[in-house]
Amino acid sequence: MSGQQTLQQRLQSTLDNPNQPFALLTTVRVKDKAAGDRLEAAMQTVVEKSRQEAGNITYHVNRDANDSTIFYLYDRWNSIDAVDFHEQTEYFKAGLVVLKEVLAEPPTTTIMQIAY
């Protein structure tokens, strides 16, 4: 076992209220520009469908203007259950397959409580 917590475990241990909105900022570094182009194409479907989910507030994929191998995924959710639902969708799973293939290093995710 790796000893690292899953996102669900981190959310449960970090957030004061699992039913309050929160945001995630995930930083992803891919192998090269071609890998980034592949990730960007795969994420288009994930973003479009995620934005239609009842528990999603917003979902954005941004590419660093100075380094085309770095992406910032910013998403806001109504609850931890909304993320759990999201992670069970086929389009999320398909995007995750591509992500794992193009990663240069493990992504980092920051969990943020909504201040206002």
| Cα separation, 4 vs 47, whole angstroms | 26
Q: Burial of 16 by CB count in 10 Å (0-12 exposed, 13-18 middle, 19+ buried)?
A: exposed
Helix (H, G, I), strand (E, B) or coil at 59: strand
pLDDT tens digits for 19-68?
A: 999 999 999 999 999 999 999 999 999 999 999 999 999 999 999 999 99
Going from the N-terminus, what domains does the chain have, and what CATH number goes with each?
A: 7-113 (3.30.70.100)
pLDDT confidence of residue 1: 39
pLDDT tens digits for 88-103?
A: 999 999 999 999 999 9
Report the candidate in 82, 83, 91 with the shortest Cα–Cα distance to residue 109. Answer: 83
